[in-house]
Amino acid sequence: MDGGGPSNDDERVRRLPIAGTGKSSAARVLDDWYVACTVKELAAAGSRPYATSLYGVPIVLFRDAEGSVGALLDRCPHRNVPLSDGRVEGSRLRCGYHGWAFDTRGQCREIPTSCKAPEGPARAVQRYATREQDGLIWVYATPDVEPVREPYVFRYVRDPAYHSGCETFEVEGTIHAVAENALDVPHTKFLHSGLFRKSGAGNQIEVVVRRWHDRAEAEFIGEPRPTGIVGRILAPGGGVVTHFDRFVLPSITEVEYRLGERSHIATVSALTPLTDTRTRLTAIISFRLPIPAALVRPALGPIARAIFEQDAVVLERQAETIAAFGGEHFASTEVDVLGPQILRLLRNAERGDRQVVDEPHEHRLVMDV
């Protein structure tokens, strides 16, 4: 006899009480720009190219002898080894297997051993448009097309009145999950207790939420200075702050705190979808404060990294749980201020819908911070 018994074709008897929903907040906005790396990261690679990915598609970046930055599909069309294993030689990126060499446009310019012309569409690599600005290398997510828009501009980085620093991180989570986390106020009392906000402060404030075709913001009215370290740096003497949280398509988060005219801290992160569920943050913290920058600057990196480490852990656990359950199953409340707005913007943008509207959609609520 066969000890395996009847086969398990009858899935009815095996259905678990908890089924996956199949839902995911992953969204692919392909007609827009993402930060691939910093100019420093590209330079640090030396004669080696820089390997990254967008939505799981491997991409290789290199700077040629003329200073142009090329971004190509990271696969040699000849025998499918990564071009990022090769080397930059003058104006070409050369594959390490058979030595095929490509320019920043993705054209094959040399096939060693062959006596014939190297060019030809079957031998070209898909290339991605690039921009270099604000110390960052941006890549357009659709290959072989002319971009329909330009990358986001970091306002304060260009303003000489501000001091800025850059931190980069990688974390498990969709663009939506990471952006919601970056712009979410309620979790700061628990996850970042002490660092950012303390639990039990108990101040009721008004929040105004606005959504345009390409961005959403939350304005917090009457918010006392946050009670943690960040608040003390911003406003040693306490007071009421002006606080805006903002999401800008396709993947920018802005968190701004102002106290009067003299104190201003803006943390702006450009999120990059390395895969559907893994995200890179390129965070630039810009500030203008009444105390000398030399006193503030050494603390900013460690604080940003400490907060980020806590967020990274919870985002990874969230991603694991969603994967284990086969999908997301979220219950939101009115204090999940921007998460649902971000998802709506991403879904519309994924379908190519960014129709400009005259007036923002607006609603108000009360939050106990």
- Cβ 39 to a second copy, closest distance in Å? 26
Residue with Cβ nearer a second copy (165 or 326): 326
- The tokens 């806590």 sit on which residue? 310
The answer to whether residues 164 and 62 touch, using CB atoms and an 8 Å cutoff, is no
18-47 residues near a second copy, rule: CB under 8 A: 18, 21-26, 28, 30
Residue 100's identity, in one-letter code, is: W
User: With CB under 8 A as the contact rule, which of the stretches 37-45, 91-99, 236-244, 266-274 interacts with a second copy?
Assistant: 91-99
Residue with Cβ nearer a second copy (85 or 214): 85
Q: Give how far the C-alpha of residue 55 lies from the chain's centroid of Cα atoms, to the nearest Å.
A: 12
Tokens coding 7:
């086969």
- Cβ 254 to a second copy, closest distance in Å? 21
Residue with Cβ nearer a second copy (217 or 328): 328
User: With CB under 8 A as the contact rule, which of the stretches 44-52, 89-97, 156-164, 238-246 interacts with a second copy?
Assistant: 89-97
The answer to whether residues 27 and 34 touch, using CB atoms and an 8 Å cutoff, is no
Distance CA 271, CA 173 (A): 11
- Cβ 236 to a second copy, closest distance in Å? 26
Size of the site for a second copy (CB under 8 A): 91
- Cβ 74 to a second copy, closest distance in Å? 8
User: With CB under 8 A as the contact rule, which of the stretches 184-192, 233-241, 251-259, 287-295 interacts with a second copy?
Assistant: 184-192
- Cβ 120 to a second copy, closest distance in Å? 8
Strand order in the sheet with 361-368: 163-172, 278-288, 263-275, 252-259, 240-248, 215-224, 204-211, 361-368
| Dihedral of alpha carbons 201, 332, 337, 313, sign | positive
**By CB under 8 A, residue 81 contacts a second copy:** yes
Find the helix packing angle between 339-350 and 175-183, rounded to 10°. Answer: 150
Task: Write the interaction track for a second copy spanning residues 137-156; mark x where CB under 8 A is met and - where it is not.
Answer: -----xx-------------
Distance CA 261, CA 259 (A): 6
Residue with Cβ nearer a second copy (112 or 301): 112
185-204 residues near a second copy, rule: CB under 8 A: 185-187, 189-191, 199, 204
Tokens coding 276:
């559907």
298-317 residues near a second copy, rule: CB under 8 A: 314, 317
Q: Which of 40, 43, 44, 56 binds a second copy (CB under 8 A)?
A: 56
**By CB under 8 A, residue 278 contacts a second copy:** no
- Cβ 223 to a second copy, closest distance in Å? 12
- The tokens 């096939």 sit on which residue? 111
The answer to whether residues 77 and 123 touch, using CB atoms and an 8 Å cutoff, is yes
User: With CB under 8 A as the contact rule, which of the stretches 96-104, 213-221, 222-230, 288-296 interacts with a second copy?
Assistant: 96-104
H/E stretch holding 301: helix 293-324
Residue with Cβ nearer a second copy (62 or 220): 220
The answer to whether residues 352 and 31 touch, using CB atoms and an 8 Å cutoff, is yes
**By CB under 8 A, residue 179 contacts a second copy:** no
Tokens coding 347:
């879904």
Report angle CA 46, 47, 50 to the nearest 5 degrees.
75
**By CB under 8 A, residue 112 contacts a second copy:** yes
**By CB under 8 A, residue 224 contacts a second copy:** no
Distance CA 125, CA 82 (A): 12
